[in-house]
Amino acid sequence: MRCSLCEGLLDEYVDATLPNARMRAIAAHLQDCESCEALHRRLRIVDGLLHTRSMIDVAPDFTKAVMQKVAAMPAPRAPRRSIARLAFYYLVAAWVALGLAFAFINGAAPRVAHVLTSVANAGWQALVHGVHALGPVAPVALPVGVGVLFVDALLIALAVVFYRVVRPRLTAQTDSEPEVTA
């Protein structure tokens, strides 16, 4: 008999629910195979523990008492996210996207790359070169930049209104609705 077959039948062997021929084959395999015999011993210990367990007496109103304690507990709250942090990340991402869009739409990518390396190497003088390099996109950059700032301010205001006014009202409404039980 193979170990894989024996291991699958050990539960039934311990319970003595197998046919006699199968019981003898497993008994013979257990005499020859140390790993299957070790598993058999562990199963017999677990089976013995299951049969000797003591029953715990539970009060008749146990479920009701537990549910009353659960109902008295404060409702779990989702972790609060800082609106300022979310707004900061949004602004950074928006300005990076805007800068990249200007660089690639107007073909100024090589000039912008040159400006960035110059700023890293030469400091103040490179900043002057940067202003000159971005000069061709300046007429477009100003209105687009102002538009992005306006949209940013609008989105931040909407987020603040949602978190300060709308969300507490929705939470209060869902907490006050009667619970429907089936």
* 124 has pLDDT over 60: no
Long-range CB pairs of 25-28, under 8 A, 24+ apart, other chains included? 25/1, 26/1, 28/1
The residue with greater pLDDT, 130 or 44, is 44
What was the pLDDT predicted at 168?
A: 82
The residue assigned the tokens 């017999």 is: 44
The three-class DSSP label of residue 74 is coil
DSSP H or E run through 44: helix 34-51
* 52 has pLDDT over 80: no
Range picked from 13-22, 71-80, 152-161 for highest mean pLDDT: 13-22
When pLDDT is averaged across residues 11-19 and rounded to a whole number, the result is 87
Q: Which amino acid is at 82?
A: S
* 162 has pLDDT over 60: yes
DSSP assigned state of 136: G
Token representation of residue 87: 């707004």
d(CA 101, CA 110): 13
The residue with greater pLDDT, 92 or 137, is 92
